[in-house]
Amino acid sequence: MNSNDFKRINPYLYEIPASYRADMRAPARFYADAELLRAALGDKSLDQLVNSATLPGIVAYALAMPDIHQGYGFPIGGVVATRVPDGVISPGGVGYDINCGVRLLGTRLNREDVAPYLDQLATQLQRNCPHGVGRSGEFVLNQKQMETVVRQGARWALTGGYATEEDLERTEENGVIAGADPAKISARAFERARDQLGTLGSGNHFIEVDVVDEIFDETAAARMGLVRGGVVAQIHCGSRGFGHQVCTDYVARFQRVVHQYGIVLPDRELVCAPLSSPEGQDYLAAMKGAANYAFANRQLLTHLIRRSFAETLAGAVDDHSVYQIYDIAHNMAKIEEHEVDGQRVRVCVHRKGATRAFGPGSPVLPEVYRDIGQPVLVPGSMGTASWVLVGTEGSMSQSFGSTCHGAGRMMSRSRAKKEVQGGELRRKLEDRGIRIRAGSLAGLAEEAPQAYKDVDRVIEVVHGAGIARKVARLVPVIVVKG
């Protein structure tokens, strides 16, 4: 693909017309500026976006956010809505880490309060929050307990004293998606995940302690309790081996039956099934269960972060309490209503590496945020800024209430490990005052800032395009990695 294959709709939006390829059922649109456009042309992500526009039942257009990069079948940063009940659902449009997401926690502390305790706090976070490939935690569940988590999500943690009602209220879907069915999930998935609740995992997952660097929307920031110089914490993780196994199982099952439905695809990784089919309904029920597991996972990590702050700061500062600001998913398929060609239509919105960004007035938002729009959490790469945004009317009218989820990779993990020395990267970050706790130097190298796009540039695009609005910029002082 080259620049002659698409047109520029406005300074931040480009379109590949449906006439580009005979099998496209809709145009393909993507958000970018000139530099991000060059990056997108550097891999196969735009070709994957075009492929996703061939899915049966797609409405309006296939979309990609400015953090677009190559993924499994769909590009990461992709958004596709298919008509309910006649459209399809695709595991590749959700991803292997179902309900990978971000949770932002607030405190009433400022930089000066925590400065003398950063090393101790970093160590406590590393000690209390298990991280790394296959790591288990203190919460080991039997089959019955696992099935309860699948049905109840983060609400399961409430009964054990690991959550508050405010936590649940400030979580997407209140921390539980109705319709999950443990019977649709394999024994292998349950076995992989029975000891992984309350663990971080590896890759680009992290726990951070950040300081609010800039405020752009005083009203929205005040509603969230964000002040310049204030201390917050972030969690970025998902459903661990549970979601991965659910995706693996259903990709294999869909591959066996896709031709029975007369579906022809340009890439087998796009494999899908009609949403109304037994396979489609089973995947939806299993995916919801994995999503609920992820909500519970981030809730237990919240409990462990609260413990870490208390163990480090109790007796040192007057108020070390940690409250929840919001929790959002960015690998999910959701049944929603959106306006398409002037009509309200029920659709299955696939958001893969894209986050929900509902605008002001949405009835699904917590009352505290309903008039300002949904908080949107966009983490940067390790050592760079992260952002707090809010959803807008523009996101509802343009992008099925969606926006970007991060910076977006520019360099593969294998290439990053070849080009970046983990020890040198660690020294550079610590010279900037960032406390690093990581499982391995190779893991650090994989997540080096230079392996990612400039998150500030990505945010300028979504803000300029009107699919999210800037509220606050955060900078890290502690990073815990798997």
- Annotated catalytic residues are 405
As a whole number of angstroms, the distance between CA 384 and CA 28 comes to 30
Q: Which residues contact 393 (CB under 8 A, 6 or more apart)?
A: 359, 360, 466
CA distances from 251 to 58, 147, 279, 344 (A): 20, 22, 10, 31
What is the per-residue DSSP string for 35-65? HHHHHHTTSSHHHHHHHHTTSTTB-S-EEEE
* 406 known member of a binding site: yes
Q: Is 142 annotated as a binding residue?
A: no
**DSSP H/E element including 359:** none
330 is in an annotated binding site: yes
Does 71 count as an annotated binding residue?
Answer: no
Q: Is 408 annotated as a binding residue?
A: yes
Residue 382 is assigned to a ligand binding site: yes
Phi, then psi, of 100 in degrees rounded to 5: -60, 135
| 205 marked as part of a ligand binding site | yes
Cα separation, 104 vs 373, whole angstroms: 16
Task: Please check if 153 is assigned to a binding site.
Answer: no
On whether 208 is known to bind a ligand per the annotation, the reply is yes
Q: How far apart are CA 356 and CA 143, in angstroms?
A: 32
Asked whether residue 97 is marked as a ligand-binding residue, the answer is yes
Known binder of ligand: residue 207?
A: yes
What is the rounded distance in angstroms from the CA atom of residue 14 to the CA atom of residue 32? 7
Answer yes or no: is 481 a known binding residue.
yes
Question: Do 106 and 223 meet the contact criterion of CB atoms below 8 Å apart?
Answer: no
68 among annotated binding-site residues: no
- Between strands 76-83 and 62-69, the pairing is antiparallel
Give me 411's structure tokens.
């360099």
Q: Which amino acid is at 372?
A: I
- For 270, residues 6+ apart whose C-beta sits below 8 A from its C-beta are 51, 52, 54, 55, 73, 74, 90, 92, 93
Helices marked H in 105-185: 111-114, 118-128, 143-152, 155-159, 165-169
67 carries a ligand binding annotation: no
Residue 320 annotated as part of some ligand binding site:
no
Neighbours of 448 (CB within 10 A): 22
Q: Of the candidates 24, 13, 21, which has an alpha carbon nearest to the alpha carbon of residue 53?
A: 24
Report whether 69 belongs to an annotated binding site: no
Where does 331-468 have alpha helices with state H?
A: 393-398, 413-419, 422-431, 441-446, 455-465
204 is in an annotated binding site: yes
Radius of gyration of the chain (CA): 21
Q: What is the DSSP letter of 182?
A: G
Give just the sign of the alpha carbon dihedral 65, 69, 71, 75.
positive
Annotated binding site for GMP: 204-208, 330-331, 379-382, 386, 405-408, 481
Q: Which residue numbers belong to the known binding site for Mn(2+)?
A: 97, 205, 236, 330
> Residues annotated as binding site?
97, 204-208, 236, 330-331, 379-382, 386, 405-408, 481
